[in-house]
């Protein structure tokens, strides 16, 4: 009887471990299909899971690097790409010059979001801390 309990415990532990390993190591098929539908010409992205549990595909398109985020259920969240400060629309550059001129810009991204639409995310170093400011192309701050 004791041997049966030990075998039963070992079998349950083995199955549980096997399932966890498979889930952590693979991107769900529904997420892959959503990516392929949104980016039909991209077939080999690198996948990561972010801190929120969403799946991030990293890929290149026309020589540019992109990151596209999808929920575990396959819903597209946003796509972002790093750009140069000089590639920001003039309205945003003018506001940065007038309002944030003394702040160091650490990162600039062009973002296309399912919930917010198209915007630019500019990260400043302010008093030793990072601060993100999101702009529409016309210079309107949205966060």
Domain positions in the chain are 83-143
Helix (H) or strand (E) run with residue 81 in it: strand 76-82
Separation CA 141–CA 122 (nearest Å):
11
Its CATH architecture, for the domain 83-143, is Roll (3.10)
Answer yes or no: is pLDDT of 143 > 80.
Answer: yes
What is the chain's length?
Answer: 143
Answer yes or no: is pLDDT of 2 > 70.
Answer: no
Helix (H) or strand (E) run with residue 118 in it: strand 117-126
> Between 104 and 78, whose confidence is greater?
78
Please report which confidence band the pLDDT of residue 49 belongs to, taking 50, 70 and 90 as the band edges: very high
pTM of structure = 0.76
The CA-atom distances, in angstroms, between 9 and each of 1, 3, 19, 138 are 13, 10, 16, 63
The pLDDT of residue 25: 61
> Between 103 and 109, whose confidence is greater?
109
């Amino acid at each position: 009887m004791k041997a049966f309990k030990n075998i039963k415990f070992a079998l349950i532990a083995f199955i549980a471990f096997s399932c966890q390993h498979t889930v952590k190591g693979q991107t769900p098929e529904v997420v892959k299909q959503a990516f392929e539908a949104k980016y039909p010409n991209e077939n080999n992205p690198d996948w990561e899971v972010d801190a929120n549990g969403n799946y991030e595909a990293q890929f290149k398109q026309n020589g540019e690097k992109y990151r596209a985020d999808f929920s575990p259920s396959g819903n597209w969240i946003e796509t972002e790409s790093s750009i140069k400060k000089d590639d920001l629309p003039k309205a945003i550059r003018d506001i940065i010059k007038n309002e944030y001129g003394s702040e160091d810009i650490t990162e600039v991204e062009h973002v296309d979001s399912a919930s917010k639409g198209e915007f630019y995310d500019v990260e400043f170093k302010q008093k030793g801390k990072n601060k993100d400011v999101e702009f529409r192309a016309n210079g309107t701050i949205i966060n």
